[in-house]
Amino acid sequence: MTDAELQAVGEQVVEVLRTIYDPEIPVDIYELGLIYDVQVSSDLDIKILMTLTSPNCPVAESLPEEVKERVRSIGDVQEVEVEITFDPPWTKDMMSEEAKLELGFL
């Protein structure tokens, strides 16, 4: 695959991530800053590095699984790996301007 094709798949992944919402906060997980990295291999394997708002997050089990299932639904995507990290820990500063505005932090 060309770099442009891989980038297009990466953009599709981001679009899917923007449809997944944290159940406690009315903002999608991408704008919240919970997604640290999205990697697309030449075999169309996807690796997503993400965090949760806290280690005790009530959706710690289900949210990564939802991310995996939704991203897997993209056309030619093969394997999807979701890795959870708390390094660095999530803070409100990681939110996009749009998310901060939505939640009244601006």
User: Of residues 46 and 26, which shows the higher confidence score?
Assistant: 46
Is residue 50 classed as helix, strand or coil in its secondary structure? strand
The values of phi and psi at residue 91, to 5°, are: -135, 165
The values of phi and psi at residue 17, to 5°, are: -60, -30
pTM score of the predicted model: 0.92
Q: How many domains does the chain have?
A: 1
Residue 98 lies in a domain: no
Residue 1 has a pLDDT of 81
Find out whether 15 and 53 touch, Cβ atoms under 8 Å: no
The values of phi and psi at residue 88, to 5°, are: -80, 155
Residue 64 has a pLDDT of 95
Average pLDDT, the chain: 93
Which range of residues forms the domain containing residue 31? 3-87
Average pLDDT on 78-99 reads: 95
Residue 51 lies in a domain: yes
Residue 79 lies in a domain: yes
